[in-house]
Amino acid sequence: MDVIDYEIEEINKIVEQIICNSKIVACLRSLIRINIKQTLSRQITVCIRFPSNYPNEHLLVELKSLTISGKLLDGLTTLAEQKASEIQGKPQTLYVLKFIDNYLRENPLCIAYDEIAAIKALLKQKNDLGTGGGEIKCLQKTSMISLKVNGGNYYYKAKFHVPEEYPTKCVQMTEHKSNFPITLLRFINGQAKEMARKCAEAPLRACDNSKFEVKPSLLPSLKFIIEAVVDFHNEMCPVCGFMCLPNDPSDIEVKDTADKYVERVFCGHIYHLGCLKTYVRTPPFPPNGKTCPAKKAHPRSDHKGSNIALPKKTKKTDVDTCGIRISHDRWGLNVKLAEARWVHQEARKRELEEVKDFLQ
């Protein structure tokens, strides 16, 4: 019995006991094919062929998977063949199978390889452009991803857990820290979590949930966070034209009734609270209510899918102006009430001026 026959016999006897959740598909001199299924996402098929001069030459390995990135499979194939080269002259098959199985177990984030690479590329692009940037770290032992993003003097840090059932279960934010004002921080966190949820959960009101397809949630959520953090510190108030956020984060207004308090409305733009109040309470008062005066539509608008209507004269394809009705979930102001308040305010001013003239 030569080395190849010995290995084939050994694999048939013990491989399914040594490597958990493995299954022999074929075990012949011409081809060994083993399926390894650790989780729903970590599934791989290992194809091994013996070279003519085996074992004095290393095994020929081919890896296939419907759930793991092709680039990662190429790299893992190279590593597996290198491992086989380390023990040339000896039986290599079981050694290589154990290495592949251990690699997948010790690197659970391999199921998000392409997404992590895309996030790294996006952060590098922001760094190169000088508009912001940050870093991402993979914590393989805990299946966690650590993200840090900078925008000017503002930062955002968070950790995300990638579950074993990913992508059928969405990525989960476990902790966060930032020096953004609470209004913007709530929006960033809430929107990132909602984007992740929508990737893995079918909408409750969908007519036919059978058409819903689960999508990876890591890249959409983290990409949103990166772009929001990089952009927010440069956004200007559409009314006064000055930066909404102070250059020094320690100067942020925390009192939610102060004029310099930063408020975000449904169209996505942010305002100084005092500017926003002045704008919505000053004529003219259009029949459908005041619309956002910003020069461009905001890329992170909330109006999609809501009951906020665009003005009749504003086309959805128009990107030169925002044109979405001013609205916010904390307060509202209809046209009649705004006009009545303005009339009362003007009348009050006239009364004070008359009293002042009389006293003079």
Domain boundary among 90, 106, 122: 106
Residue 252 lies in a domain: no
Q: Taking residues 312-322, what's their average pLDDT? A: 55
Q: Taking residues 112-132, what's their average pLDDT? A: 91
Instruction: Reply yes or no on whether the pLDDT at 209 is more than 70.
Output: no
Per-residue pLDDT band at 351 (split at 50, 70, 90): low
Residue 311 lies in a domain: yes
Per-residue pLDDT band at 305 (split at 50, 70, 90): very low
Q: What is the mean pLDDT of the chain?
A: 86
Q: Taking residues 288-299, what's their average pLDDT? A: 85
Residue 352's pLDDT is 67
Same-domain pairing of 71 and 119: no
Same-domain pairing of 127 and 222: yes
Instruction: Reply yes or no on whether the pLDDT at 133 is more than 90.
Output: no
**Does residue 286 contact residue 263 with C-beta atoms inside 8 Å?**
no
Domain count, the chain: 3
Q: Taking residues 177-187, what's their average pLDDT? A: 93
Domain extent for 274 = 267-360
Instruction: Reply yes or no on whether the pLDDT at 353 is more than 70.
Output: no
- Tens digits of per-residue pLDDT, 19-78? 999 999 999 999 999 999 999 899 999 999 999 999 999 999 999 999 999 999 999 999
Residue 230's pLDDT is 92
Per-residue pLDDT band at 128 (split at 50, 70, 90): confident
Instruction: Reply yes or no on whether the pLDDT at 150 is more than 90.
Output: yes
Same-domain pairing of 7 and 99: yes
Instruction: Reply yes or no on whether the pLDDT at 218 is more than 60.
Output: yes
Residue 144's pLDDT is 96
Residue 330's pLDDT is 57
Residue 253 lies in a domain: no
Residue 59's pLDDT is 94
Residue 257 lies in a domain: no
- Tens digits of per-residue pLDDT, 225-278? 999 999 998 899 999 999 999 999 999 999 988 999 999 988 889 999 999 888
Residue 289's pLDDT is 78
Same-domain pairing of 135 and 69: no
Residue 164 lies in a domain: yes
Residue 333's pLDDT is 53
